[in-house]
Structure 1
Amino acid sequence: MPAIADRFIQLHLLTFYPPANLNRDDTGRPKTAVMGGYPRLRVSSQALKRSWRESDAFAQALDGYLGKRTARIGALVEKHLLEKGRDAAKARSVARDIASIFGKLKKEDDPNPTFTEQLAFISPGEQEKALALADARADGADETDLAKIAPMVLTERDTAADVAMFGRMLASHPDFNREAAVSVAHAVTTHRVVVEDDYYTAVDDLKKSAEDAGAGFIGEAGFGSGVFYLYLCIDRALLLENLGGDAGVARKALEALVTAAATVGPRGKAKSFGSYARTSYMLAERGDGAPRTLAGAFVEPVDRIDPQPNDLLAASIRKLAETKDAFDRAYPDDAPASAAFSVPDGSGSIREISDFVTDGL
């Protein structure tokens, strides 16, 4: 692993969302968690990472360095071969061979026989290698055992920054698994929250007045509002290792991650609630000490302990800062360097945070 000063970056964000349903459970209601014995709203790590990967911040900063999570690599290979005029049966056979590198195949009589059963993260470089190998096999190249062709496609270092950050698992080829360089916690509210229900109706515009006065449709949707605490930990040394030492891409990845985490959230029912928000407070820490979340600041909900409980954002900022200072006093040898911006105070900026987290790369 590359030697690098200030190995760990830790980000702590406080973001206020008005009534919304950002991340739904299996019943369609907002996800929740019990923390400190009190109910909170929750947004899953998976939902957050997906929204960041699909964001403009990632697309613009990491163009050409983003992977795809898909079960359809075989279909892509088959289409590639057919467009080159290859025999259909041969194209299907080669596509299934190539797809098997990335996961267990669907059965041959499945409607999508070139799909894998699982999703796999595939980097741009691996996709290019997969298509090149498909061409070679379609041209009659040696039908090497499939276990031996995996290293011809899979890579131990990434050309995909998102795979380097968030990792991947290939059950059949564990040597090519990628340990995530970025840990992302589930976001939870800093205070107690009760999920409410929106009872709504839709009117049939073509219904005549002579008919009944009832609605054309009746529905119900859960929602909640709150200040969410989000914690991320970035292992810069592991990120560099995953990227094969490419510090330039590592810097771009960190900048994109800071921007996306602060400005992009899950889009669950966003059109119904207008739930677009930006982080009001971000604390960044940089150092070599063992990482630690500051979620303990909110074990006791801020609406129970603060003298101004109606200002949940201000109370959350104060409590987070107090907890950080307490940890620094308790563990002075591990106290990290820090930088912050606060929208309510008008101090700092996201540019300063980006410069801080990339310093030394």
Structure 2
Amino acid sequence: MTQFIQLHILTSYPPSNLNRDDLGRPKSAKMGGFDRLRISSQALKRAWRTSEIFEAGLGDHKGIRTRRLGQEVKQSLLDAGVAEGKAKDWTAQIAGVFGKVKKDSATGELEQLAHISPVELAAIRQLTAVLADEKRAPDAQELELLKKNHKAVDIALFGRMMASKPDFNMEAAAQVSHAISVHAVAIEDDFFSAVDDLNTNVEDSGAGHIGDAAFAAGLFYTYVCINKDLLLDNLEQDHELAAKALKALTEAILKVSPTGKQNSFASRAYASYVLAEKGSQQPRSLSVAYLKPIVEQDYGTVAVQRLQEQRRSFDSVYGACAEQHCELNAFTGEGSFEDVIQYVTD
């Protein structure tokens, strides 16, 4: 039976704008007929994947997402004395392995982001060095740079989709919800001004700059489901690396905030409550606990109670929806971060 790890997280952010829409305002969504704050799963996953926690724990097994693969390749060829025309052609061939190259791109820039594993990146650099040294174009066999087996943890967790080469796709082992506020919100606007330090107020006492910024505060529910069996398959049954991946991911989920407008709001936050579950049962989110928005003033206490009650209600009608669980409650000081990490990685 497939083994699942489910994480239910409550994180409170003070006034902030962590994830903006096309107008620069905090993202939102309607739920239960009310406007809620939202942080997209893409913003969350990028913050976790690029965090110092992820780098420290998994640096040797972390890939890169880029469209600019060709820039390094072409520059290496040019530095080695390869003519401009040949460097451009060879770069397009190498970059083209990972996606469609933009028309008329001088640097082999790809049309879409490509997720490249450390093994693949090393193969690209090795091939580039050979071509530069031998002053020749790559052959078909040398261009077999994509790898099915590469042990890139971020690709194993969050997946890779290559429409032109589906054989090298990888299904994500981790599913991440959009974070949604457990209460209704009204997005506010901050009007601000800045003073010109060299303005002596002799001729003009006005502000040097005026502007406005949207913000809101909220307590967010986030749900993460990890298919442990699929993670092991993606990492070629490397149990030690899978445990490192689970540890780094869980720590990032609990400690790392999206980077949007952090200099303006300093809205970094740790998770205030975590419910971790394990078992072979079909996974389910507990977001329905907040279908009716919380209106009580003590958001934290009520949000935890709602989550725990919803878990018991699902268990009551469906039977146990998980075989084990572990909790951390920073509102009351119960449980510990180390307990959650040990539980998830055990």
Does the alignment reach a TM-score above 0.5? yes
Confirm whether residue 358 of structure 1 aligns to residue 321 of structure 2. Answer: no
Q: Distance in 2 between matches of 1:175 and 1:356?
A: 34
Confirm whether residue 265 of structure 1 aligns to residue 257 of structure 2. Answer: yes
The structure-2 alpha-carbon separation of the partners of 1:294 and 1:149, relative to structure 1 and needing over 3 Å to count, comes to farther
Offset, 1:6:
6.2
Letter paired with 1:290:
Q
Letter paired with 1:206:
L
SS in 1 for 2:243: helix
Q: Distance in 1 between matches of 2:138 and 2:270?
A: 53
Structure 2 match to 1:44: 40
Q: Distance in 1 between matches of 2:74 and 2:325?
A: 51
Offset, 1:329:
1.7
Alignment match of 1:298 (pick from 290, 302, 326): 290
Structure 2 match to 1:233: 225
SS in 2 for 1:63: helix
Alignment match of 2:170 (pick from 160, 167, 178): 178
Q: Pick which of 325-334 and 241-250 moved more.
A: 325-334
Would you say the 8 A contact 2:91–2:107 is kept in 1?
no
Q: Distance in 2 between matches of 1:82 and 1:141?
A: 13
Letter paired with 2:94:
I
Confirm whether residue 341 of structure 1 aligns to residue 335 of structure 2. Answer: no
TM-score (normalizing by structure 1): 0.91
Confirm whether residue 107 of structure 1 aligns to residue 94 of structure 2. Answer: no
Q: Distance in 2 between matches of 1:142 and 1:277?
A: 51
Q: Distance in 2 between matches of 1:131 and 1:206?
A: 51
What do the CA deviations read for 1:146-189 (whole angstroms, capped 9, x no partner)? xx665x21111233111110011112111101111110100010
The structure-2 alpha-carbon separation of the partners of 1:206 and 1:333, relative to structure 1 and needing over 3 Å to count, comes to closer
Would you say the 8 A contact 1:20–1:225 is kept in 2?
yes
Alignment match of 1:65 (pick from 58, 61, 69): 61
Would you say the 8 A contact 1:106–1:113 is kept in 2?
no
Confirm whether residue 117 of structure 1 aligns to residue 83 of structure 2. Answer: no
Letter paired with 1:33:
A
Letter paired with 1:52:
W
- Gap runs ≥5 in structure 1: 304-308
Q: Distance in 2 between matches of 1:6 and 1:173?
A: 28
Offset, 1:46:
0.6
Confirm whether residue 255 of structure 1 aligns to residue 247 of structure 2. Answer: yes
Confirm whether residue 289 of structure 1 aligns to residue 281 of structure 2. Answer: yes
Offset, 1:143:
5.3
Offset, 1:229:
0.4
Would you say the 8 A contact 2:2–2:227 is kept in 1?
no
Offset, 1:88:
3.8
Structure 2 match to 1:320: 307
What do the CA deviations read for 1:208-231 (whole angstroms, capped 9, x no partner)? 322233211111111001110010
Structure 2 match to 1:131: 125
Q: Pick which of 239-248 and 202-211 moved more.
A: 202-211
Offset, 1:140:
6.7
- Gap runs ≥5 in structure 2: none
SS in 2 for 1:280: strand
SS in 2 for 1:158: coil
Would you say the 8 A contact 1:78–1:92 is kept in 2?
yes
SS in 2 for 1:179: coil
SS in 1 for 2:271: coil
Q: Pick which of 344-353 and 116-125 moved more.
A: 344-353
Q: How does 1:21-36 map to 2 (within 5 A)?
A: 21-36=17-32
Structure 1 match to 2:211: 219
Alignment match of 2:317 (pick from 312, 320, 330): 330
Offset, 1:32:
0.5
Q: Distance in 1 between matches of 2:335 and 2:182?
A: 23
What do the CA deviations read for 1:52-84 (whole angstroms, capped 9, x no partner)? 111111011112111100011111222233344
Offset, 1:336:
3.0
Would you say the 8 A contact 1:21–1:222 is kept in 2?
yes
Q: Distance in 2 between matches of 1:355 and 1:58?
A: 17
Offset, 1:23:
0.6
TM-score (normalizing by structure 2): 0.95
Offset, 1:21:
0.6
Would you say the 8 A contact 1:105–1:113 is kept in 2?
no
Confirm whether residue 97 of structure 1 aligns to residue 89 of structure 2. Answer: no
Q: Distance in 2 between matches of 1:183 and 1:194?
A: 29
What do the CA deviations read for 1:257-314 (whole angstroms, capped 9, x no partner)? 11101111111111111101110100101011111100000000111xxxxx111011
